[in-house]
């Protein structure tokens, strides 16, 4: 279970693509590791929302092969004394500011080895003076390149240490006869993704999903609803999701992130 | 005229870039084919509009070298029984859900060999259980990787079969003295792109373009108009396009997708 | 100081990512140079603003290694007789329409060798007939591929010639006791980036920053302000920037591009 780098690096930021911030990071990575293969995961995350960046990185990192390094820079504390976290899990590395992003991404993962950056390492690596506003360029990109090149071993990154998690995403609550959770995010299609993992539904024979005034049956696929009608499904990440077929649940249902979702055994009257 | 894969893969989706859906597909492709070179064509297409995805893929695919595989996933029927189509044309491959996307992309192309996915193939390839909501990850990415790696031959994909085209884009109509078409899309600049191919204008000596109340001469270039004035040109895709110089025709002319465009021999009073 | 190409190409355009224009350019580059490594700098620049494209390219290009070719296509004059400029600087190449983009990107750079495209070269290279609306595809992509492949030497591109700069960005003005500049752009976070380089602040012992009715101290980092409060910093590009901590200065301060910024020695009452 040793990390053997392959030069594959993913990037997750809240930098957007309108300015060349992400491109600049790639330039710094390619300057140190010309053979790097760089994949964008997302750069359109809400500004400063390290928790949501962690959520999405958590849905994505397992789909990459062993030897991948995942760099995530959502860093509202840039320039302050916040730490830097490296996590090794499943023969992959994840690197991010120590602000809760990686604990969210790795929630429930077994066998994570956590390290925190030795504050003297950037100087010893010759990274030069860091700007106060763009550590993605000055600190994270070179660290990622060195780790992905195998020139910096995880063991030399810094001491073992647990990561902070100041703002964990809300967790669902399971009682005997129901699960209560909430909508975490609306995706590009207006689908409303909850924090309720399908594993929590065991024992609910005929699960009915309540979102505000909407009562929905849990269906196998979007196509189970008529066009324009709402439907609840277990999505590809194993989470309960409320969608509107060929439409946007976010627009149509008057509910978005933060809305309560309740799932209970259901008879009676339902939509969907 | 045999397809010889080069590891070059293009992606066209309606997934957007705010969430890591596209990045996840790339992880799955790179896991099977580490040497894949992946190019994004567009991920900002209107949700579910397989016809427009086909239109844009149709403008783009010929600009890639032989040996390229083009994967397009605009898939409102995900999780239902819709088929999967593979087309071989010009020593390139195109792979998409069987919903009309590829017939639109290949309209007018000669020598297309169409195949439909053998429903038993995913199992035989060991792709595992598919989610109901993200076949881009579970089905299309691995198929694309196998085809681009040369590990799956087109002939083994499934039987020859024509593809469905349930919602073709509207076609222009040519009579003796005029061509009537419509605006298909507005691009990023607010340029209005019609479905009228320049080849249809043969025999119109002095073509005048009417869009709503606007009468325009067909000019050789945007620069033929004064700044802020509308102009009609044959664009780089061979289609008649209405633009406003240094501005947005979409905003300025009160017309957008669906608007009728008529081109006829023209004397008299014109703008542009 | 000779340019030795490495196959690394960056792209900067105002084409957006909703349509496949950028992908098409990549196809044309990869068709001529299959080993090209292509990095996106930005495609979300305001349409036609070659000056801002130059500004951002100027912040980015030095972060790439020697042997990189930077292609920038913001080209409102496409199809007209505007020239094409190649600049060699620091063992990198920059290629763009001759509209002021590269002079802005290279302002203050020493040792730039400027060339203008020999109008007969595209024909001699066999580039075929150019469209009137998409020289990114027909002219710039093949030229970039040939230069990045080492198949076209800068010396063969065309004669030495200075580049036009019809619309330079405004410059700051330094007097004995103050610097006056203006906001050039708001970035993705709503941070307001001025044209005032930190080097101009020498001799101002306690610089106070005035933006409209807001008086701010120049702080070392965003974190010096309380959440929701404005702060001025020298950003990672060496420019004075006004931000709101954990918020958007663009939204909160009622000021944006074009607003006047004055920096002078400051005692007395300040926010931030």
Do the Cβ atoms of C187 and A34 come within 8 Å? Answer: no
Gap from A37 CA to chain C (nearest CA, Å): 9
- The residue-averaged pLDDT of C98-122 equals 97
Residue C225 confidence (pLDDT) above 60: yes
Residues 76-135 of C with CB under 8 A from A: none
pLDDT (mean) for A43-57: 96
pLDDT band with cut points at 50, 70 and 90 for residue B267: low
Q: How far apart are CA B229 and CA B231, in angstroms?
A: 7
Q: Widest CA span of chain A, in angstroms?
A: 68
Chain B neighbors (3+ CB pairs < 8 Å): A, C
Which of B17, B80, B137 lies at the smallest CB-CB distance from A223? B80
Ramachandran quadrant class, C254 (left: phi over 0; alpha: psi -120 to 50; beta: rest): left
Q: What is the mean pLDDT of chain B?
A: 94
The answer to whether the CB of C45 falls within 8 A of the CB of B188 is no
Q: What is the mean pLDDT of residues C244-256?
A: 95
CB atoms within 10 A of CB A68: 26
SS3 content of chain A, % helix, strand, coil (to 5): 25, 30, 45
Of B247, B245, B232, B246, the residue nearest B183 (C-alpha): B232
B191 lies in the same domain as B147: no
- Is C270 a residue whose pLDDT tops 60? no
Query: Average pLDDT over chain A, rounded to whole?
Result: 94
- The pLDDT tens digits of the residues spanning C155-213 come to 999 999 988 898 899 999 999 889 999 999 999 999 999 999 999 999 888 899 999 99
Rounded distance between C-alpha atoms, residue C269 and residue C216, angstroms: 9
- The answer to whether residue C235 neighbours chain A at the CB level (below 8 Å) is yes
B47 contacts in A (CB within 8 Å)?
188-189, 248
Shared-domain flag, residues A139 and A61: yes
Provide, as residue numbers in chain A, all residues whose Cβ is less than 8 Å from the Cβ of B31. Answer: 63-65
Q: Is C229 found in the same domain as C196?
A: yes
DSSP B137: I
Q: Which residues contact C113 (CB under 8 A, 6 or more apart)?
A: C87, C88, C89, C154, C160
Residue A271, pLDDT above cutoff 70 = no
Quick one: B220 and B97 in the same domain? no
DSSP strand pairing (A69-73 vs A8-13): parallel
pLDDT category at C223 given cuts 50, 70, 90 is confident
Q: Is pLDDT above 50 for C268?
A: no
Is position C200 within any domain? yes
Q: How far is CA C49 from the centre of its chain?
A: 10
SS3 content of chain B, % helix, strand, coil (to 5): 25, 30, 50
Same domain, B152 and B27: yes
Q: What pLDDT band is residue A268 in, cutting at 50, 70 and 90? A: very low
Residue range of the domain that includes C186: 173-265
Q: Work out the average pLDDT over C256-265.
A: 96
- What is the structure's pLDDT at B270? 42
Average pLDDT estimate for A197-203: 93
B236 has pLDDT over 50? yes
pTM of the model: 0.95
B145: CATH: 3.40.50.10790
Q: Is residue C163 part of a domain?
A: no
pLDDT band at A79 (very low <50, low <70, confident <90, very high): confident
C11: nearest CA in chain A?
A23
**DSSP assignments along A199-262, one per residue:** GGGTT-SSEEEEETTEEEEEESSGGGSPTT-EEEEE-TTSEEEEEETTS-HHHHSS--TT-EEE
Per mean pLDDT, which range of A2-11, A90-99, C221-230 is the poorest? C221-230
Are C258 and C211 in contact by the 8 Å Cβ rule? The answer is no
Judged by DSSP in three states, A198 sits in helix
Q: Torsion angle of alpha carbons A127, A132, A134, A136, nearest 10°?
A: 50
Chain centroid offset of residue B63 CA:
13
Give residue A176's pLDDT.
Answer: 87
Q: Is B26 on the interface with A (CB under 8 A)?
A: yes
Please report the sign of the dihedral spanned by the C-alpha atoms of residue C119, residue C122, residue C124, residue C128: negative
Least confident of A75-79, A103-107, B69-73: A75-79
Cβ contact (<8 Å) for C189 and A131? Answer: no
Chains with 3+ CB–CB pairs under 8 A to A are: B, C
Tell me, what CATH number does C181's domain have? 2.40.30.90
A257 is a domain residue? yes
**CB contact at 8 A, A73 and A135:** yes
In this prediction, residue A151 carries a pLDDT of 98
* pLDDT recorded at residue B268: 45
Residue B121 sits in the same domain as residue B182: no
C-alpha distance from B121 to closest chain C C-alpha (Å): 30
Helix (H) / strand (E) element for B15: namely: none
Q: What is the pLDDT of residues B241-258, one digit of tens each?
A: 999 999 999 999 999 999
B127 & B77 share domain:
yes
Q: Is the pLDDT of residue C25 over 70?
A: yes
- What's the rounded Cα separation, in Å, for the pair A75 and A98? 9
CB-CB neighbors (< 8 A) of B234 in chain C: 132
Reported as a pLDDT band with limits 50, 70 and 90, residue A266 is confident
Nearest-5° Cα angle at A261, A260 to A266: 145
Distance from CA of C128 to the nearest CA of A (A): 32
Task: Report, in angstroms and rounded to the nearest whole number, the Rg of chain C calculated over CA atoms.
Answer: 21
Interface probe, candidates B7, B14, B17, B19, chain A, greatest A C-beta count within 10 A: B19
Distance between CA A112 and CA A87 in Å, rounded?
Answer: 6
What tens digit of pLDDT does each residue of C136-160 get? Answer: 999 999 999 999 999 999 999 999 9
Angle among Cα A35, A37, A39 to the nearest 5 degrees reads: 160
* Global ipTM: 0.95
Judge contact between C69 and C8, C-beta under 8 A.
Answer: yes
Please, how many CA atoms are within 13 Å of residue B204, restricted to the half-sphere of its CB? 23
Measured between alpha carbons, how far is residue B200 from residues A210, B177, B196, B234 in Å? 55, 11, 7, 11
Q: What are phi and psi of A166, to 5 degrees?
A: -70, -20
Task: Indicate if B150 and B66 belong to the same structural domain.
Answer: yes
Chain A residues within an 8 Å CB radius of B133: 221-222, 233, 235-236, 241
Determine the length of chain B. 272
A223 & A125 share domain: no
Task: Establish if C76 belongs to a structural domain.
Answer: yes
Contacts of A65 in chain B (CB under 8 A): 27, 30-31, 34
Q: What is the mean pLDDT of residues C222-237?
A: 93
Tell the burial category of C129 from Cβ atoms under 10 Å away from its Cβ (0-12, 13-18, 19+). exposed
**Cβ neighbour number for residue A227 with a 10 Å cutoff:** 10
Reduced to 3 states (helix: H, G, I; strand: E, B; else coil), residue B115 is strand
Residues 6+ apart with CB under 8 A from C120: none
Q: CB–CB of B20 and A222 under 8 A?
A: no
Interface residue C33 vs chain B (CB under 8 A): no
Q: How open is the CA angle B91-B121-A237, to the nearest 5 degrees?
A: 100
Do A31 and A25 touch, CB atoms closer than 8 A? no
For chain C, how many structural domains are there in total? Answer: 2
* pLDDT at residue B272 greater than cutoff 80: no
Q: Do A47 and A148 fall into the same domain?
A: yes
Residue B205 confidence (pLDDT) above 60: yes
Q: What is the mean pLDDT of chain C?
A: 94
What is the distance in angstroms between the Cα of B122 and the nearest Cα belonging to chain A? 17
Residue spans of alpha helices (H) in chain A? 21-32, 50-60, 101-105, 121-124, 135, 141-148, 249-252
CB C80 within 8 A of CB B226: no
Name the residue facing C43 among A17, A48, A79 (closest C-beta).
A17
The residue-averaged pLDDT of A234-242 equals: 97
Whether C246 and chain A come into contact, CB under 8 Å, resolves to yes
Considering Cα of C74, then C80, then C82, then C84, what sign does the dihedral take?
Answer: positive
Interface test with chain C among B42, B238, B249, by most C beta carbons within 10 Å: B42
Give pLDDT tens digits for A214-227: 999 899 888 889 99
Domain presence at residue B29: yes
- Name which of B115-124, B215-224, C44-53, C66-75 the model is least confident about: B215-224
Cα A241 to Cα C2: distance, rounded to the nearest angstrom: 57
CA atoms within 13 A on the CB side of A56: 31
Among candidates A39, A221, A248 on the partner chain, residue whose Cβ is nearest the Cβ of B23: A39
Specify whether A178 is located in the same domain as A153.
no
User: Which H helix or E strand runs over B75?
Assistant: none
Q: Is there a contact between C19 and B42 if contact means CB atoms under 8 Å apart?
A: yes
Q: Residues C40, C10: contact at Cβ < 8 Å?
A: yes
Domain contains C184: yes
Q: Do A132 and A23 belong together in one domain?
A: yes
Contact B40 C23 (CB under 8 A): yes
Q: Under a CB-based contact definition with an 8 Å cutoff, are residues A17 and C17 in contact?
A: yes
Residue B164 lies in a domain: no
HEC string of chain C? CCCCCCCEEEEEECCCCCCCHHHHHHHHHHHHCCCCEEEEEECCCCCCCHHHHHHHHHHHHHHCCCCCEEEEECCCCCCCCCCEEEEEECCEEEEEECCCHHHHHCCCCCCCEEEECCCCHHHHCCCCCCCCCCHHHHHHHHHHHHHHCCCCCHHHCCCECCCCCCCCCCCCEECCCEEEEEEEEECCCCCEEEEEEHHHHCCCCCEEEEECCEEEEEECCHHHCCCCCEEEEECCCCEEEEEECCCCHHHHCCCCCCCEEEEEECCCCCEC
pLDDT tens-digit map of B153-174: 999 999 999 888 888 999 999 9
* Residue C136 Cα, gap to closest chain B Cα (Å): 10
Q: Does A175 lie at the interface with C, CB-CB under 8 angstroms? A: no
Chain C residues with CB-CB distance to A14 below 8 A: 188
Q: Are A110 and A59 in contact (CB under 8 A)?
A: no
Residue B43 lies in a domain: yes
């Amino acid at each position: 279970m040793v990390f053997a780098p392959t030069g594959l690096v993913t990037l997750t930021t809240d930098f957007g693509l309108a300015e060349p911030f992400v491109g600049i990071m790639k330039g710094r990575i390619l300057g140190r590791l010309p053979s790097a293969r760089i994949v964008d995961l997302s750069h359109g995350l809400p500004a400063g929302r390290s928790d949501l960046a962690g959520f999405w990185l958590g849905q994505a990192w397992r789909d990459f092969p062993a030897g991948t390094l995942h760099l995530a820079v959502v860093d509202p504390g840039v320039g302050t004394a916040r730490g830097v976290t490296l996590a090794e899990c499943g023969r992959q590395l994840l690197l991010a500011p120590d602000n809760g992003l990686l604990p969210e991404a790795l929630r429930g993962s077994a066998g994570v080895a956590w390290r925190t950056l030795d504050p003297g390492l950037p100087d010893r690596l010759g990274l030069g003076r860091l700007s106060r506003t763009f550590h993605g360029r000055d600190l994270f990109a070179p660290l990622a390149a060195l780790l992905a090149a195998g020139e910096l071993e995880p063991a030399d990154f810094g001491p073992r240490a647990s990561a902070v998690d100041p703002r964990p995403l809300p967790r669902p609550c399971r009682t005997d006869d129901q699960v209560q959770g909430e909508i975490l995010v609306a995706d590009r299609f207006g689908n409303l993704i909850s924090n309720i993992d399908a594993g929590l539904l065991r024992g609910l024979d005929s699960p009915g999903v309540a979102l505000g005034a909407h009562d929905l049956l849990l269906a196998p696929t979007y196509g189970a609803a008529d066009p324009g009608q709402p439907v609840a499904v277990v999505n590809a990440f194993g989470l309960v999701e409320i969608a509107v077929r060929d439409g946007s649940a976010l627009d149509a249902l008057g509910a978005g992130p933060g809305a309560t979702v309740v799932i209970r055994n259901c008879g009676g009257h339902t939509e969907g």
